[in-house]
Amino acid sequence: MEKTDQIVGGSRFLAMRMRKYIFVIAVDCDSISDIPKIMKAVMDVAGKGGPVGFILSTSLSISEVHSLLISGSISPMDFDTFICNSGGEVYYPSTSSEDSTGLPFMVDSDYQSHIEYRWGGEGLRKTLVRWATSVNDKNREIVSGDESRSTVHCYAFNVKDPELVPPIKELRKLIRIQALRCNVIYCQNGTTLNVIPVLASRAQALRYLYIRWGMKLSNVVVFAGECGDTDYEALFSGVHKTVILKGIGNSALKLHANRSYPLEHVLPSDSPNILQAEEYSTEGIRSPLRKLGVIKN
């Protein structure tokens, strides 16, 4: 805790508390290469060096996030926080990282301790490996473990053919039958499966930051696509504001087709805090932010 506070607790702590608004980029794109374009569009609207802070919330690992930032010529220091692995880890940018990854980020060890509660650990991993083996047929591998993306609090699997794996509701049922406490999330149009602790998620990570850093949820604006990963709907509930980017994430609709309830039943359609941007250009994003009262020009 002392190490984390020394690196991010000084100016970073004060900066997050002083932000007038926090923009959370939680867009699950059809193509990962589109994410830097959306980052830049949102940042252009907010203006650099202003009273707006930025959080990236994604299913990607921190190394993938780093590569993404490099590809878009975006500095990690432009962000306050990175919620990675579908909420399995929280990182802060750092100029001198002591993290095991060797990347310019520092993991929030307090968040890791928080989500550790009843985490299945190695027993859960073995159960998931057996499940992956049962899904595979004799001729080809359909589900395989992804060691490069897996972490202590996120077991990642590659899905070679999303059409041949059980829908999310069936997988969640299997986990409950095994008396395992965790969240299972299909990501990136069903090509990736993330398994994280039951106390971890992208939505719960935001609420952790609210408690940890005094971040006001009413001053948070979440940017999401029309659809996304199977934890997508959790990003809409709460007192924060939401801007939906029209046309983004539509390919993920098939992930939600076999739900036990329709997606529209859990997404508030008449909330004054939820507006749609017709496109993810600078002007397209600026228009709903004006209506929400976040910006004036």
For 271-294, the pLDDT digits (tens) are 889 999 988 888 999 999 999 999
SS3 of 89, please? strand
Indicate the pLDDT class of residue 247, thresholds 50, 70 and 90. confident
pLDDT at 112: 94
pLDDT at 13: 58
pLDDT at 117: 87
Alpha carbon distances (Å) from 56 to 69, 76, 81, 135, 263? 11, 10, 7, 33, 24
Angle between helices 282-291 and 35-46 (to 10 degrees): 50
CB 221 within 8 A of CB 294: yes
- Distance of alpha carbon 206 from alpha carbon 225, whole angstroms: 18
pLDDT tens across 128-175, in order? Answer: 888 888 888 777 889 999 999 999 999 999 999 888 888 888 888 888
Instruction: Provide the 8-state DSSP code for 233.
Output: G
Q: How far is CA 205 from the centre of its chain?
A: 9
CB 192 within 8 A of CB 157: yes
Per cent of the chain over pLDDT 90 is: 50
pLDDT tens across 55-100, in order? Answer: 999 999 999 999 999 999 999 999 999 999 999 999 999 876 555 5
Q: How far is CA 25 from the centre of its chain?
A: 8
Q: Name the strand (E) or helix (H) holding 182.
A: strand 182-187
CB 289 within 8 A of CB 243: yes
Q: Name the strand (E) or helix (H) holding 124.
A: helix 121-135
Buried b (16+ CB within 10 A) or exposed e, 240-264: bbbbbbeebbebbeebbeeeeeeee
pLDDT tens across 13-29, in order? Answer: 566 677 889 999 999 98
Class of residue 134 by CB neighbours under 10 A (exposed 0-12, middle 13-18, buried 19+): exposed
Indicate the pLDDT class of residue 102, thresholds 50, 70 and 90. confident
Q: Which two tokens stand for residue 65?
A: 């996030």
